[in-house]
Amino acid sequence: MSSVSKLPKLLVDIHTHLYLPRYASLLRTRTTAPRILSRTTISGQSEERLLILDNEPSGGRPVGPQYWDRDEKLKFMDKHGIDISIVSTANPWLDFLPYPEALSLAKDLNTDLESYCVTSPALASSPSLHRLYALGLLPLVPNAPSDALASFVRDLAANHPNIRGIIMVGENVWGEQDNGHVLPLALGFPFETTAAVTRLILAGTLDRHPDLRILLAHAAGALPALSSRLASCIVHDPRVAARLQHDARYYLGRLYYDAVAYGSAELEFVSATVGRAHRFDSSSPEVTGKTAGNAEDKERGSARIMFGTDHPFFPAY
């Protein structure tokens, strides 16, 4: 029996965030975005809101203990049967600070992260494991010297004995070879399509022109895969949500796509995602609970995928 098979089956949340108390305190002292400000609600209650952009009509996102209190994180985990969480800091990170300040704060926050995790409860089924682990924070801000960042990583590993992983400082992990046309062809063109059609959707163009027919190259790039994330972000921005008559995913059923995706599995996914669009005909804030595309959805979606070969650039085998 392999060592892997002997490990207990655990539910691990590998993408979960927090604002450490030290970081939240800094944001409270700021007078320009990003900042945490206090205000009184219509009901007379005091609340804090995180303002990342200066011109947010909603006044920012409501924040509270669930963003920085470890007990609240553990309660969330217990409620949903999560054994272990791997936490990380979140937007806007250290982006708004000059490098010297970002460097100093990153050191302090990593110390806080270590304490947050090392002093967390042990996992009942595996006492050698903590319930909380973390991804370290680097001062990746504009004008950060690359050699200083390398030194920061070395010091991080030396000063925090609980850090695990492979330190690859000094290794050119991106490689020195020229990648030629690969990135522009594989990612650049589809990402440009994704951004362009998303801007059309957000502008309300498809609502104003319901008979408009648009054919999207490369099966709309990343839009099908990111459509639910897009819908969720719109729901949390009232200014944008007010422009649209439908959930963002609904508009995928109004578009046409070419089949230049280079894989049958990818085209099947696009068909299913496009084919379920009719389920999102309202602008309701519901962003979860819709079932994945079924066979009927795939058939409906495939009717909006146009034949394309990309010949002669990539001839058929």
Tell me: pLDDT of 283 over 60. no
What CATH code is carried by the domain that includes residue 38?
Answer: 3.20.20.140
Domains contained in the chain, number: 2
Residue 314, domain member (yes or no): no
Q: How far is CA 134 from CA 70, 117, 162, 269, in A?
A: 13, 7, 10, 33
Same domain, 222 and 271: yes
Average pLDDT of every residue of the chain:
91
Q: How far is CA 287 from CA 247, 271, 283, in A?
A: 9, 20, 10
Does residue 161 have a cis peptide bond before it, meaning omega lies within 30 degrees of 0? Answer: no
Under 8 Å between Cβ of 297 and 270 = no
Q: Is 134 helix (H, G, I), strand (E, B) or coil?
A: strand
Residue 123, domain member (yes or no): yes
pLDDT at 292: 62
Does residue 190 have a cis peptide bond before it, meaning omega lies within 30 degrees of 0? Answer: no
Under 8 Å between Cβ of 270 and 257 = yes
Same domain, 187 and 143: no
Same domain, 187 and 264: yes
CA-closest candidate to residue 24, choices 97, 89, 101: 89
pLDDT at 177: 84
Same domain, 206 and 128: no
Residue 175, domain member (yes or no): no
Tell me: pLDDT of 134 over 70. yes
Same domain, 43 and 149: yes
Same domain, 66 and 143: yes
Same domain, 253 and 196: yes
Residue 206, domain member (yes or no): yes
Residue 177, domain member (yes or no): no
Indicate the pTM of the whole model: 0.85
Same domain, 189 and 261: yes
Angle at CA of residue 76, ends 74 and 82, nearest 5°:
80
> What would the pLDDT profile of 26-72 be if each residue is shown by its tens digit?
999 999 999 999 988 888 889 999 999 988 877 889 999 999 999 99
Under 8 Å between Cβ of 260 and 217 = yes
> What would the pLDDT profile of 89-120 be if each residue is shown by its tens digit?
999 999 999 999 999 999 999 999 999 999 99
Same domain, 31 and 151: yes
Structural domain range at position 16: 9-159
Residue 74, domain member (yes or no): yes
Residue 164, domain member (yes or no): no
Same domain, 122 and 231: no
Residue 169, domain member (yes or no): no
Same domain, 150 and 220: no
Same domain, 16 and 116: yes
Tell me the pLDDT band of 290, cut-offs 50, 70 and 90: low
Tell me: pLDDT of 1 over 60. no
> What would the pLDDT profile of 194-221 be if each residue is shown by its tens digit?
999 999 999 999 999 999 999 999 999 9
